[in-house]
Amino acid sequence: MSGRLGAAWGTWTRFWFEPVSTSTLALVRVGFGLVLTGWTLSLAADLRAFFGPGGSLAAPPSAPWRWGLLHVANTDAAVVALWTLLLVSAVALTGGAGTRVAAVVAWVAVLSLQRRNPYVFNSGDVLVRQLSFLLALAPAGAALSVDRFVRHRDRFLDHPRRAAWPVRLIQLNLAFGYVVSVSAKLSGETWTGGTAVGYVLRIGDLQRFAVPDLLLDQPVVVTLLTWGALATELAVAVLVWNRRLRPVVLLLGAVMHVAIDLTIEVGFFSYAVLVSYLAFVPPEAADRAIAWVSDRFRRSATSVRAATDCT
């Protein structure tokens, strides 16, 4: 019994605390920074309408334990200032400049906007908030960042090893989200009945590229799409922990989310999910990818310098 407990404890410890290359975390940070920058820019045209006192919601909704900076300063000027701060922090997070501070500022700003008017956001926006929080906890600037360049210029392309727990939190957050999603869907008649996707794809206000009625009029097709979505979400949540099956289920999930983004207006939902998928990239694969890109960049720079010298 003690041997089994020791083995279980060893597995648990390795899962959370084994030092791994921070290259995977760097990919997540860069990907999320780009998504967050796009997310922030997408709000620009509707800042006052969504979050100002003269907009769709004159004051923040009152609820226990819900706070935000715009609860303190409910003015148009405060909204613009907060948005500007968020944009700066998103760009800084992408490049890894003052990474920890940038992530904390981004999380507080995103939280404040979502608390100010929760009615204009969806689950993808919640995932954006969660990822900003998780990156604030992580050593996200340890590799491939301005912070790394400033502190270790001669070893910029090295990826120091850190405990795995920040990446594990991102992985588990994604898996748990899928479990919650599947559980909620199974409580609805349209999902268990195999008709939910047919209804969703016919909502005109949400359509990006309309799926032909020829397909949506086929009950078998709609049922396969509906149950296929449920099966894919459950597979990503459960089977992604199997190393052999991981590439397959992540590919299925990626195809599903690209299809969702192409057909339905769901904001940044698919992008935030796909960024979370990057947390499952093996560190050695991330190391190779970054090395390949840096090598290509170095060769291109050398070619440009050679061409310049010739002229």
Taking only the tens place, the pLDDT of each residue in 222-268 is: 999 999 999 999 999 999 999 999 999 999 999 999 999 999 999 99
CA separation, residue 298 to residues 233, 293, 294, 301, 305 (Å): 40, 9, 6, 5, 11
pLDDT in tens, 30-69: 999 999 999 999 999 999 999 999 999 999 998 777 889 9
Residue 92 CA from chain centroid, whole number: 17
Q: Do residues 112 and 82 lie in contact, with contact meaning Cβ atoms separated by under 8 Å?
A: yes
Q: DSSP assignment, residue 207? A: B
Say if pTM beats, i.e. exceeds, 0.85: yes
Residue 21 backbone dihedrals phi, psi, to 5 degrees: -60, 140
pLDDT tier for residue 308 given thresholds of 50, 70 and 90: low
CA-based torsion, 259, 262, 263, 269: positive or negative: positive
Region for residue 209 given its phi and psi (left: phi exceeds 0; alpha: psi -120 to 50; beta: otherwise): beta
CB atoms within 10 A of CB 25: 28
pLDDT for the residue 305? 66
Q: What is the mean pLDDT of the chain?
A: 93
Most confident of 61-70, 149-158, 175-184: 175-184
CB atoms within 10 A of CB 242: 10
Rounded CA separation 171/174 (Å):
5
pLDDT in tens, 73-129: 999 999 999 999 999 999 999 999 999 999 999 999 999 999 999 999 999 999 999
- Which amino acid is residue 273, in one-letter code? V
Instruction: For the chain, give every domain's residue range.
Output: 21-162, 164-288
Q: Do residues 128 and 35 lie in contact, with contact meaning Cβ atoms separated by under 8 Å?
A: yes
